[in-house]
C-alpha cells in the first residue's frame, strides 16, 4: 500500500510537469497522481495490457493513470 502511494505521488509529480499549465499545484498533482496510480493499474489489469515489469512498469502505469486523471480534471478546471 505504501509502495503504491509513493509510486502514485511520483507519477503525479511527473504528470504535473508534463501537463504544464494543466496542473493544479504540487500537492494536488501528487494527490491526483496517487488516484491516477490506482486508475492506471486498474486499466492495465482490466485490459491485460503488458507493460514493463518492476518499478519502471509501475511508474509508467501510474504516470499514464495520473495523466488521464489530470487531463480529465483540467477539462473542468475554472479558468
DSSP 23-76: ---HHHHHHHHHHHHHHHHHHHHHTT-----HHHHHHHHHHHHHHHHHHHHHHS
40 touches 11 (CB < 8 A): yes
Q: What is the pLDDT of residues 22-46, one digit of tens each?
A: 566 778 777 877 888 788 888 888 8
| pLDDT at residue number 21 | 60
Given a cut of 70, is residue 56 above it in pLDDT? yes
Task: Answer yes or no: pTM beyond 0.85.
Answer: no
Chain-wide mean pLDDT for the chain? 80
Percent of the chain's residues with pLDDT above 70? 87
Q: Which long-range contacts (CB under 8 A, 24 or more apart) does 50-55 make?
A: 55/7
Given a cut of 70, is residue 14 above it in pLDDT? yes
Distance separating alpha carbons of residues 17 and 54, to the nearest angstrom = 23
| pLDDT at residue number 62 | 85
Amino acid at each position: 500500500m505504501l509502495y503504491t502511494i509513493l509510486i502514485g505521488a511520483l507519477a503525479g509529480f511527473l504528470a504535473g510537469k508534463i501537463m504544464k499549465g494543466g496542473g493544479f499545484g504540487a500537492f494536488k498533482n501528487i494527490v491526483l497522481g496517487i488516484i491516477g496510480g490506482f486508475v492506471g493499474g486498474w486499466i492495465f489489469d482490466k485490459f491485460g495490457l503488458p507493460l514493463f515489469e518492476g518499478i519502471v512498469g509501475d511508474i509508467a502505469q501510474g504516470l499514464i493513470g495520473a495523466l488521464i486523471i489530470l487531463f480529465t480534471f483540467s477539462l473542468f478546471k475554472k479558468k
